[in-house]
Amino acid sequence: MGMLPQAVAALRYIEGRRETLVQLSDVIWELAELALHEDESASRLLGALEAEGFAVETGVGGLPTAFVATWGSGNPVIGFLGEYDALGGLSQHAVPYRSERVAGAPGHGCGHNLLGTGALGAAIGLKHQMEENRLPGTIKYFGCPAEENLSGKAFMAREGLFDGCDACLTWHPSSVNKVATGSSLANNAANLIFFGQSAHAAGDPYNGRSALDAVQLMNLGVEFLREHMPPQARVHYVITGGGAQPNVVPALAKVWYLVRAPRREEVDQLWERVLKCASGAAEMTETRYEVEMIKAIWNVLPNRPLIDLLDECFRQIGPPAFGPAEQAFAQEITGTIPGEQRASSLREARVPEELWDRVLLDTILPIPAIEDPPRGSTDVGDVSWCCPTAQISTACLALGTPGHSWQYAAQSGMGIGHAGMLTAAKVLAAAGYALMTRPELLVRAKADFVRRTGGRPYRSVMAPGQRPAFHQFSG
C-alpha cells in the first residue's frame, strides 16, 4: 500500500483529550441504558460533539436516541459508527468479582460505552487534523442506538442515512487486537403472539384452547427442525408471556424468536420453516397467532482494501499499553473464567496457543489467510451494504473474557477498557486521515464494494412501515 500519511495532529489531539474521553465513557458506563432508551447516553455524546464544533441532527431514522453529527463540507465523506446501549441484568461494579451496582439492572456487558466514545475520539481527532492541514471533506459521526437485539442501524440504513458516505469505519471492544475480516450472521427477530380461549383449568379445561400449549408445541417443532438447518444457523427463543396463573387456561402467550444464518437468503428460507412450526402449533391447538416483526438485518459485507488500510494503521499505532494495575485486575478476572471455557474462546478467536498464557494481549493478530467465519450478529451489516465499511477490535478485556458477562462489564468501566478505547480512536482517526488524503484508497474500496454487491443498491429487508420495537424493553 505504501507509506501512509502520518496523522500526527489527530493522535496528539486524542491523547490530549484522554481524560475527557475516559470520563465520558465512564458516565455512559454508569448510565447503562437499554436499547432505544439511551436518552442520557446519547445526550452526553452529542453534547461532546457539539462542543467540538459538530452540527447535530437528532431523532434520525425514526429513533429518538439516534443522531448524526457532521463537520466539514465536500468530499470525501467519512463516517464513524458509535453505539451506547447496555444489556439487561449485567449491572456490575468495576471490580474483579461479581458485585452488582443495582440488583437486576442493565450493565455494559458488551462495552458499548467504550465503543461510542472511542468512535467519537476518532471523529474529533480527524477533525483537528483536517483543520491543521486545511483539508476539504466531511466527517459524520453516527449515533447508533439499540445494536443489541433491536438493530437501530437497520432503521437508519432504511432511511438512507449512510448512502452519502464514501466509507464508514467502526470498532468493537474485545480481548484481542485484530482487524475484522469476515462476515456476520444475518437475522430476523419477532414476537409470535398466540391467542386461545381461557377456561377453568379444573372445572372445564375441555372448553379452553391454550395459547401456552401452542407456544410450547411451536418450540418443540423448532427443536426437531435444528437437525435440518444449515450448520452455522442459530435459532433462539424466550417465552415472554405464558399466562397469569396455573388454574386458568392461558388465552394469550408470547414467544420472542431470533433466527440467524450466514447469508440473508438462508435466513429468509429458515424463517419460513420456523413460521410453519407456528402454523402447525396453532392448528393442533385450535388457536391463532400473529407475527410482530422486531427487526431484520443483513450479514456484514467485508471490504478488503479497508481491511488492509486498518491493519496498516493499527500496526503504525501499536496495541494498547497496560500498566501493573491493569495486569493485576486481568489476572484476577482470568481466575473467574473456567479453563475450558477460556480455551474454547481463544480457539474460536484464532489466538495462537503460544499467546494463551498472557492475561492481556499486547500483540496485533495477523490478517488470516481465510476470512473469519461468522459467529455473532451486528447491524453494522446493513451499513456495509450501503457503503464500504470495515472495523477493528482492540484489547479492552482479559484474554478469553466471555461476551455479555459481568467480567466484560467490569472491565468496560476501568483502565483495561480505557486503554483499548483510546487505541481504537487513534487507529480509526489515522485510517480516516488516509482516506481523506489518498483518493486511490477510496477508489479501491468502492471497486471492492461494487464487486461484492454486484452493483445492486441496498435494500432493507424490513417492511417500509415497520417501526422500532420501543415496547420490547421497559427502559
SS3 389: strand
Q: Are 119 and 428 in contact (CB under 8 A)?
A: yes
Cα gap 333→396, rounded to integer Å: 13
pLDDT computed for residue 473 by the predictor: 78
Q: Collect all residues with Cβ–Cβ distance below 8 Å to 464 and sequence separation of at least 6.
A: 158
pLDDT of residue 279: 98
Of 116, 119, 90, 94, whose CA–CA distance to 32 is shortest? 90
Find out whether 161 and 223 touch, Cβ atoms under 8 Å: no
Report in angstroms the alpha-carbon separations of 262 from 11, 186, 231, 388, 392: 37, 6, 10, 19, 20
Mean pLDDT per block of 10 residues along the chain (475 residues) reads: 75 97 98 97 98 98 97 98 97 98 97 98 98 97 96 97 97 97 96 98 96 98 96 96 96 98 96 98 98 97 98 97 97 96 91 95 92 88 98 98 97 98 98 97 98 94 91 70
Instruction: Give the list of residues 6+ apart from residue 189 with CB closer than 8 angstroms, or none.
Output: 149, 150, 151, 256, 257, 258, 259, 293, 294, 295, 296
How remote is the C-alpha of 170 from its chain's centroid?
10
> What superfamily in CATH does domain 8-184+299-453 come from?
Zn peptidases (3.40.630.10)
User: What's the CA gap between 432 and 225, in Å, rounded?
Assistant: 46
Domain spans of the chain, in order of start: 8-184+299-453, 186-297
Tell me what pLDDT residue 388 has.
98
Cell triple for 461: 429487508
CATH of domain 186-297: 3.30.70.360
